[in-house]
Structure 1
Amino acid sequence: MSSEVKVPVLGESVSEATIGQWLKQPGEAVVLDEPIASLETDKVAIDVMAPAAGVMGAHIAKEGDTVAVGALIATIEDSTAVAGAAPVAPRAEKAIPPASDTLPPKGEDAGDAALSPSVRRAVLEHGIDPSSVKGTGKDGRLTKEDIVHAAQAKQATPAPAATAAASPAPASVPAAPAGERREERVKMTRLRQTIAKRLKDAQNTAALLTTFNDVDMTEVIAARDRYKDLFVKKHGVKLGFMSFFAKASVLALKDIPAVNAQIQGDEIVYHDYIDLSVAVSAPNGLVVPVVRNVDQLSFADIEKAIAEYGKKAKDGTLTLDDMKGGTFTISNGGVFGGLMSTPIINPPQSAVLGLHRIEDRAVVRNGEIVIRPMMYIALSYDHRLIDGREAVTALKTIKEAIEDPTRLLIDL
């Protein structure tokens, strides 16, 4: 008797996905609710869980195939019914725990726990046995950083000296001829294809324009330095600059509603709420999870939400619901050292705020040249909906709120 493996429901308006990777090969033992395949949708990677225990049967769909929701992609055979096969024995290292207890207790080996897509990619890339690595994530779960650190430690460990009894070394692979030019072709992931299409659609559809300003970060840096220890102690999360810019953006979007609006057909949709999309770098590309009702959240709430999304992005565990919606986006290229950029809007949104690196620059204050920590900020917007005056005013409001954070408290 066999069990069918079908493409699960992927979320609202998502009807198909791509087989990213088969995690179980035909003939391998399978445990109920164990990840057996990874699907790539337009936004996230989703694991297909085993509907039954047994032995992996045939792969009906290959890696790279596009499959629809509900499509049959594989079978799982009853281990006792496989011809000539004895009951499947558990893995030699450790039996995989049942679905009701997939996370190992803290401090225990996390090698057999269900691995996130990003961790599995790191395991394959670096050739690390996950059962030999101690997880530092929540409840002992392995993270991508754990695998990378294990790989670095492995490379740093000197190889054991050869002994007289050692077998002869295999013939070395000849080095590539000097000056040889090589190319590698890698199929774009579904996520990268979607990013490319959406960004190009934004350029083709919207009348994009960008306005710039610079911000003196002196007061925000001072406030952060003054309260960061107390903030962590009380809220359990670091006080970053993003929450200041999120709050400043709220002021600007309330004053200039068009910047928080969208064009739908021949209508303009104005929102009385602010759902903030935060651009986050993930293993497969840029993703934009949404902090909802950010206008009603505290600094701590915003920082906690952003920190959680950042961790989920690295672990490859973001869901479609995490990225659905959004009325305005903040993208921080400064974390990568970017000095200035013209960010592209995230359709159907009408504007995006770009942040950049902070650097000391000479500026004039009260007739004197002084050194201040300055940041360039950019607002890209759809000129079909937002006039230049509105865009410049919104960016100026953000600048003034950051340079005088008291404005964030008194809604000015």
Structure 2
Amino acid sequence: MNIVEILVPDLPESVTDATVAKWHKQPGDLIERDEVIVEIETDKVILEVPASANGILEVILQTEGTIVTSRQILGQLKEIDSHKQCNEKKIPDNELIFKDSIFQESSNNNLLKQKMNDTLSPGVRRFIAENELEVSCIEGTGLDGRITREDVEKRLIDSSKNLNKNISIPIIPDKQSTNYDREKRVPMTRLRKRVAERLLEAKNNTVMLTTFNEVNMQPIIDLRKQYGENFEKRYAVRLGFMSFYIKAVLEALRRFPEVNASIDGDDIVYHDYFDINIAVSTPRGLVTPLLKNIDALSMAEVEKKIKELAIKGRNGKLTVEELTGGNFTITNGGVFGSLMSTPIINPPQSAILGMHAIKDRPIARNGEVVVLPMMYLALSYDHRLIDGREAVGYLVTVKEMLEDPVRLLLDI
């Protein structure tokens, strides 16, 4: 049989090492070709390591939590010939032998017990029965190995000692003691560490300021009610709010290129393309998958791509390419019920737009108070690059596009 090495896959250029996240198999487990054996966690994604052949996991060399590098050996697989595997479920010969030996041993024990019972005196037999002891567990010291009353008493004393050893006395917590015994400490995942580092970097290395506005969402709500069913029938995807947000962001970025730019040392880099990150919450933490060239996508394509990225994010299937790059980020805390927040810039970007929950609020319009579905907008930006005039103008443009979505179609 051949020994196949299980190797760490080639890591992306921006990733120097990884952590062994989870072994799905243990030594001795039968593994089929292309079946996932172990997961490797990087700063950005989880990489699955599949089996390159049919076999049995021989040994694990790198346990969970170990830091590994590209092409490092994780374990070994003993390859087996798939043609020799039988699809019929049958009991192996060694299992039959084992079962037969158990039956034979059980029969011998019964005979032994019967023989021992026959040599016991009536008093000893009654004493054993009263204390519910097994005859085979008592060592006889009498003539020809017979069990005496003293042997039974000795067995009772030994059993009492063992019982006392296994009894655990519950510890009643002292009201004056600390709460450390009720704490749970787990290591941070690599993704959580990286998110923390980037957030701290944004706070320390940018002059971040946030400006707010609010938008009347009634026009978009009416538009979705009117065309949502036909849209879903034609494109097999629901018409959500995010496609409107992204189209409004696109138009605002075109009008205010500083918001789509970034700082590189002493230079300002202006981007003539529009790659947008969408903040997605996953079980492993916050990730920002990328929508590339949104100016070339229709609303249906935007909705399909967002749905695809959200599913991949929840299942940990996002690739490094889908998490790398981007000039601007949109985060929608409204899906969790957030009314207002100050989002933190995603470096090296210069701005991030926060969307929030849509709530009915009384609004003064044309001298009258009306109740409308309103949503707060929040734009956090790097004041080193973006002035207040550009920031407010950008946010007002997004507001105007959302309140009159026909302008998105007419490009005005």
Cα distance in 2 between the residues matched to 1:250 and 1:296: 11
- 1:83-138 C-alpha deviation (Å, 9 max, x unpaired): xxxx8777979xxxxxxxxxxxxxxxxxxxxxxxxxxxxxxxxxxxxxxxxxxxxx
Offset, 1:204: 1.1
Offset, 1:18: 0.4
Gap runs ≥5 in structure 2: 91-166
* 1:354 counterpart = 2:349: no
Cα distance in 2 between the residues matched to 1:90 and 1:307: 40
Offset, 1:53: 1.9
Cα distance in 1 between the residues matched to 2:28 and 2:6: 15
What's the counterpart of residue 234 of structure 2?
A: 234
* 1:342 counterpart = 2:342: yes
Cα distance in 1 between the residues matched to 2:307 and 2:89: 37
Cα distance in 1 between the residues matched to 2:210 and 2:238: 31
SS of the aligned residue for 1:202 comes to helix
Offset, 1:312: 1.1
* 1:293 counterpart = 2:293: yes
Cα distance in 2 between the residues matched to 1:267 and 1:207: 16
Offset, 1:250: 0.6
Matched letter for residue 25 of structure 1 = Q
Q: 1:176 to 1:343 in 2, by over 3 A?
A: farther
Cα distance in 2 between the residues matched to 1:89 and 1:185: 46
Structure having the larger proportion of residues in helix: 2
Offset, 1:60: 1.3
Offset, 1:240: 0.6
What's the counterpart of residue 216 of structure 1?
A: 216
Matched letter for residue 248 of structure 2 = A
Offset, 1:324: 1.4
- 1:242-292 C-alpha deviation (Å, 9 max, x unpaired): 111100001110000010111112211111111110111111011111111
Offset, 1:49: 1.1
* 1:58 counterpart = 2:64: no
**Aligned residue runs from structure 1 range 275-290, under 5 A:** 275-290=275-290
What's the counterpart of residue 330 of structure 1?
A: 330
What's the counterpart of residue 36 of structure 1?
A: 37
- 1:112-170 C-alpha deviation (Å, 9 max, x unpaired): xxxxxxxxxxxxxxxxxxxxxxxxxxxxxxxxxxxxxxxxxxxxxxxxxxxxxxxxxxx
Kept after mapping to 2: 8 A contact 1:214/1:377: yes
Cα distance in 1 between the residues matched to 2:171 and 2:371: 52
Deviates more, 1:370-379 or 1:314-323: 314-323
Matched letter for residue 398 of structure 1 = V
Give identity over the alignment, percent: 51
Cα distance in 2 between the residues matched to 1:211 and 1:389: 11
CA RMSD of aligned residues (A): 2.3
Cα distance in 1 between the residues matched to 2:89 and 2:188: 36
What's the counterpart of residue 132 of structure 1?
A: none
Deviates more, 1:47-56 or 1:227-236: 47-56
Kept after mapping to 2: 8 A contact 1:29/1:88: no
Kept after mapping to 2: 8 A contact 1:54/1:88: no
Q: 1:206 to 1:63 in 2, by over 3 A?
A: same
Offset, 1:384: 1.1
Offset, 1:15: 2.4
- Asked which structure has the greater CA Rg, the reply is 2
Q: 1:61 to 1:403 in 2, by over 3 A?
A: same
Cα distance in 1 between the residues matched to 2:370 and 2:68: 61
SS of the aligned residue for 2:182 comes to coil
SS of the aligned residue for 1:203 comes to helix
Matched letter for residue 70 of structure 1 = R
Cα distance in 2 between the residues matched to 1:176 and 1:3: 53
Q: TM-score, structure 1 length as denominator? A: 0.76
Matched letter for residue 41 of structure 2 = E
Q: 1:92 to 1:214 in 2, by over 3 A?
A: farther
Offset, 1:406: 1.4
Cα distance in 2 between the residues matched to 1:268 and 1:91: 68
What's the counterpart of residue 45 of structure 1?
A: 46
Offset, 1:174: 7.6
Cα distance in 2 between the residues matched to 1:70 and 1:334: 43
SS of the aligned residue for 2:353 comes to strand
Matched letter for residue 243 of structure 2 = S
Offset, 1:10: 2.7
What's the counterpart of residue 372 of structure 1?
A: 372
Q: 1:410 to 1:14 in 2, by over 3 A?
A: same
